[in-house]
Amino acid sequence: MGIEKLNIHLIFFALVILQLSIFSVVNVASAASDEQDIEALIENFNAQDVDVKADSVKVPVAAGEPAVGPLIQTLDSKDPEIRENAAINLGKIKDERAIDPLVKLLTDEEWEVESAATNALVEIGKPAIEPLIKILQE
């Protein structure tokens, strides 16, 4: 009986932590009202603190369309992890403005970045087909 109660308390505690984490991301995303705010959050893509990095990667998707411009600019970063996370986010947002910049990443020197760009283009879907066909024809 004691172990079952402990398990119930642990599950409850985990749910509370998860709820607080989601609340935190939503609040940060809603506070990121303009591109400057979002750019500041994107800078945390390569943070040393795992929690800061994890939260910063979730924020652009929650912010949606206002994050597209800063994320596209971030694709030019020297840090491959930042380029990878930006590509992942752009794929989740599914904005067509990201297609050409993502296509350019298909020749990135880091396979993780290439893979993230490929997956992002797949997530964007049909609008990405024509630019990909042009590349194959070249």
Which residue type, as a one-letter code, is found at position 37? D
d(CA 127, CA 119): 14
Residue 20 neighbours by CB under 8 Å, 6+ apart = none
- Three-class secondary structure of residue 46 per DSSP: helix
DSSP 94: T
CA distances (Å), origin 113, targets 56, 75, 123? 18, 9, 15
Full set of structural domains in the chain with CATH: 2-137 (1.25.10.10)
- Three-class secondary structure of residue 34 per DSSP: coil
pLDDT tens for the 138 residues of the chain, in order:
455 554 554 555 454 454 444 444 444 444 444 556 666 666 666 566 656 655 666 666 766 788 888 889 889 989 898 899 899 999 999 999 999 999 999 999 999 999 999 999 999 999 999 888 887 787
